[in-house]
Homo-oligomer: A and B are copies of this chain.
Amino acid sequence: MASSNAIVPGTTPDAPAPSSVTQINKTVHPFSRAQLEGLMTKRFFYTQAFEIYGGVSGLYDYGPTGAALQANIISAWRQHFILEEEMLELETTIMTLSDVLKTSGHVDKFADWMCKDTKTGEIFRADHLVEGVLEARLQGDEKARKAEQTNAQQAQEVPVEGGDAKDDKKSKKKKIKSTAKKLDDETKAEYESTLAQIDNYGGPELGELIRKYGIRAPESDNEVSEPVEFNLMFDTQIGPTGQIKGYLRPETAQGHFVNFGRLLEFNNGKVPFASAHVGKSFRNEISPRAGLLRVREFIMAEVEHYVDPLEKDHDRFQEVADLKLSFLPKGTQQAGKSDISVQTIGEAVKSKMVDNETLGYFLGRIHLFLVKIGIDPKRLRFRQHMGNEMAHYASDCWDAEIHTSYGWIECVGCADRSAYDLTVHSKKTKRDLVVQKPLKEPKVYDKLVPFIDRKKLGPHFKKDARFVDEAIAQLDQAGLEKLLVSLRNGEADVGGYKLTSDLVKVELKTIRENVREFTPNVIEPSFGIGRIFYSLLEHSFWSRAEDQERAVLSLPALVAPYKTSVIPISSNEKLAPLVKQISRQLRAKGIASRVDDSSASIGRRYARNDELGTPFACTLDFASLSKGTMTLRERDSTTQRIGQIEEVIDVIKALCEGSITWEGACQRLPAYSGEQELD
């Protein structure tokens, strides 16, 4: 049962072993998603919300271990992005005025297409339905062809696993059973081509595909309705009158943009700078599955980096220029391929595959962050969005995708939102959301300027005067020149109004501009913390070679919920005060620890330690009382060292801070040669 879900092998043998000098083969047992999920519940990393009420799909609660792991990921993120780059952190409201999201385009465009089983009323996401059915047919075709070749009797009904899905969307749909049935070659090619472009289709196209391919509801085999749009925002009423409509924000970004004026002022009017916000966002998914990967409530960590559109270079670009990343550019995908191009960020920016230094800089920083917290760099790639796939506000977008048993999952988006949002908000609210930049040399030029004698214009045109004024204001240089000539000749016509030179004059003026005014462009790295959290768990999970049931989470100390266990070798009361004292000492040094003084055997307690992802364990025995010593065990290698209690605590602190490796720890602490009962 457990291994039947195995799709993708665990971390490869040559992946770095974060806190161990011993090379451990972590792939002896194939990855089992069921086993990981079992562990998550057993050790209360997370669970479905309102479980005792039957649960609600797409909503999850994090227990003590999961909450700590998530908090540590966020803390590492703050350190890596906000503190390192002195970003301006915000804390804005989740409840969002509908006008704001109307302006940003979310009220009209933030939707998925859904269709209904016309008889049972079951609801499907239209793209997932088309994908699922076509993939099942292709799978059936494959089976039929195999059966044909081998003349074997394999044409039975077999469920189709998500398998090597191209991206996360592919594997989120409900699994559809396939039946062996051969397709003609032309149909097969057509299905494949359709699937390669599925992210590019809107509702009407999906409706056409449903009709063309006779797609029906998978279980009931009933007809499905035409796709209709379903807005993914949760809506509610603010206040008791029902007149103020609100939405739960679908991203934190708009909270940054509406505060842009104050942020710019706080930054003394200068760009570039970035705002950052870690907080919850909400999407009312049509039919969420796939655990933490598609949820209705999630923590995002978003950076909005404001730049001069003419200066998208970055002064720290050199720090990442030589970093090699795995790229999957849009050209490759549009040609129906998925070949990865490994190159340095410097090369990618130079060739313009990645548009500019700032975008390239953030791709590099994203990569460094993900690897730092424990994501396997071999299962990390940067995929560029194709044209129609892009969000309505983006001019370019690269996703950091992480490979999991669900396929490649979009975990971080890095979009160039251009000046879209600031422009629309500025237009709607009539507030200037612009930067004024002093010009090195003032710009001096001549310009025709109209001068209206309003004292005469008013009485002359009466209530029309306003329109005349506007008509003149709208004239460009050519129009003003024409007006000048006409006035010289006696009378001019502007928008149907007759003008003479006593009412308006046109003169050539020398203009001197000292500042350039522009709407900044926004580069947005946007992190889905829950998806990163889940991917990290898959990448960290493996089983001991000797026993598949003995699972280990190889979380780096940086993010592990507890850094060390404190384990008294027996429940003898004499050890209890020492256990308390060591807990206190660890706490004073800022090292999160967990005492395991249960009556379980020492081996079972180490196994529990490994399941919690705790990198180290301090074990106390009677020598701790008589000689003041304590042993230190490293999770991945299970090797043990011994030292004076104070020294061991100092070593743990150094290990957690990353100032020494386990190899360094072994130099400071001698090997422990004592014998311990391990189960």
| Interface residue ranges, A against B (CB under 8 Å) | 43-44, 47, 49-53, 56, 59-64, 66-68, 70-71, 83-84, 88-97, 99-100, 114, 121, 123, 230, 234-241, 244, 246, 248, 255, 258-259, 261-263, 265-266, 268, 275, 280, 282, 284-287, 296-297, 425, 428-429, 431, 587, 592, 598
Contacts and interface: CB of A to CB of B under 8 A. Distances in A.
Contacts of A262: 44, 47, 63
Given A63-B263, A90-B67, A93-B61, A296 B238 contact: yes
A306 to B, nearest CB: 14
Contacts of A265: 44
B95 A266 contact: no
Interface of A is mostly: mixed
A61 to B, nearest CB: 4
Contacts of A51: 258-259
Give the most central of A64, A66, A67: most B CB within 10 Å.
Answer: A64
A123 B52 contact: no
Contact of A93 (B92, B266, B297): B297
A287 B92 CA distance: 20
Contacts of A62: 90-92
A286 B240 contact: yes
Contact of A63 (B259, B280, B431, B587): B259
Nearest to A64: B88
Given A56-B244, A95-B234, A240-B123, A64 B266 contact: yes
Contacts of A241: 121, 123
A296 B508 CA distance: 56
A258 B55 CA distance: 11
Given A59-B95, A64-B88, 9 more contacts: A49-B255, A53-B429, A61-B255, A62-B91, A63-B263, A64-B89, A64-B266, A67-B89, A93-B297
Nearest to A125: B240
A93 B234 contact: no
Contacts of A285: 239
A99 B61 contact: no
Given A52-B261, A63-B266, A284-B240, A91 B114 contact: no
16 contacts: A43-B266, A44-B266, A49-B258, A50-B97, A51-B259, A53-B258, A56-B244, A59-B95, A60-B93, A61-B259, A64-B88, A67-B90, A84-B587, A234-B238, A239-B284, A239-B287
B90 A56 contact: no
A240 B230 contact: yes
A286 B261 CA distance: 30
Contacts of A92: 49, 61-62
